[in-house]
Amino acid sequence: MSGEPSCSATTEVPNANPGPDTSLPPAVIVLGMAGSGKTSFVQRLTAHLHAKKTPPYIVNLDPAVHKLPYPVNIDIRDTVKYKDVMKEYGLGPNGAIMTSLNLMCTRFDKVLDLIKQRSSTYSMCLLDTPGQIEAFTWSASGSIITDSLASQQPTVVVYVVDSARVANPTNFMSNMLYACSILYRNKLPFVIVFNKSDIVKPTFAMRWMKDFEEFGAALDEGKSSYMSDLSRSLSLVLDDFYANLRTVATSSYTGEGMDDVCQAIEASVEEYKKEYIPIYEKTMANKKEALEQERARQLEEMRKETAVLAGSNEETMITAPFEKIHIGEEPV
């Protein structure tokens, strides 16, 4: 996994990171398209957890947000000034967000230390990400943050979907494809939250995920097009993706479904322990073996080079012509 310490071939294989500590509370990375209601969802979930006397630990990773409706424990805006980054590097909005995240990554080990040190005071660590989802999910900094968290404690990805926008079958398929790509990129427990259920009940979306024919019927209601035909084909491909996926209907406005979200996160933590930990251990074992093999290879090359040099010196000493040199008058 990325984000793990490396070692040179001439040093011992590191054992500084003993692996994820499953006794720590889970880290919950909240993702979603712009306008899906990520920040409102985090605010409502935070209020819900405070009401249950199990407060969360909150990390804001959006440098461009003007005002947050919830208290923050760690805020990227305290470390990186978004507008200053735009001016200094001559960047646009998205470029400045990615650069801000990159700068934050250079100090993220400090963030990890704080999250771990405060683990006894919170029930879960919520990480609110930028509205421009691609700036986090497809950037090196997003991978480093996600992998670093997952290598320290149980980590769950929550993908927030706007229920009103996915009422259109092709929009629904676009969201599901993006969710699928994030799942297979991170390989972490995944929960889809259909937000804004007070506006549109997402029962239709949950039926589409379980019944291919019903989704096809919804597509047939519109005019036949390349997008509808493609969506119909993709729905068959995504059957495996839907099979073990956790879905929850919520409303950040009314608070509906927040208990279900907490239950889905708890179930995802158990999945993390059963499925992610073995993958992590196997990955680290393979990395350790590769490092040891590389170290042995370099040591063997050094031994051969030393032997060649020693042989070359010995041959020179024996076969090189010897010429007497006299200083002063030659002996009679």
Query: pLDDT tens per residue, the chain (332 residues)?
Result: 444 433 333 334 334 456 789 999 999 999 999 889 999 999 999 999 999 999 999 999 999 988 899 999 999 999 899 899 999 989 898 889 999 999 998 889 999 999 999 999 999 999 999 988 888 888 889 999 999 999 999 999 999 999 999 998 888 988 998 998 898 888 899 999 999 999 999 999 999 988 888 888 888 765 667 777 788 788 877 877 887 789 999 999 999 999 999 999 999 999 999 988 888 788 778 878 888 888 888 888 888 777 777 665 555 554 545 455 444 555 55
3-state secondary structure of 58: strand
pLDDT for position 131: 84
CB 111 within 8 A of CB 101: no
- Per-residue CA distances from 325 to 225, 316, 332 (Å): 97, 19, 15
Rounded Cα distance, 73 and 95, in Å: 25
Q: What is the pLDDT of residue 311?
A: 65
Q: Which residues of 139-172 are buried (b: 16+ CB within 10 A; e: fewer)?
A: bebbbbbbbbbbbbbbbbbbbbbbbbbbeebebb
User: Cα(61)–Cα(145) distance, rounded to whole angstroms?
Assistant: 10
pLDDT at 138: 86
What pLDDT, on the 0 to 100 scale, is given for residue 133? 87
Is the distance from CB of 111 to CB of 59 less than 8 angstroms? Answer: yes
- What would the two tokens of residue 128 be? 């609110």
Provide the pLDDT for residue 312: 59
Q: What is the pLDDT of residue 248?
A: 95
Element (H, E) at 231: helix 226-237
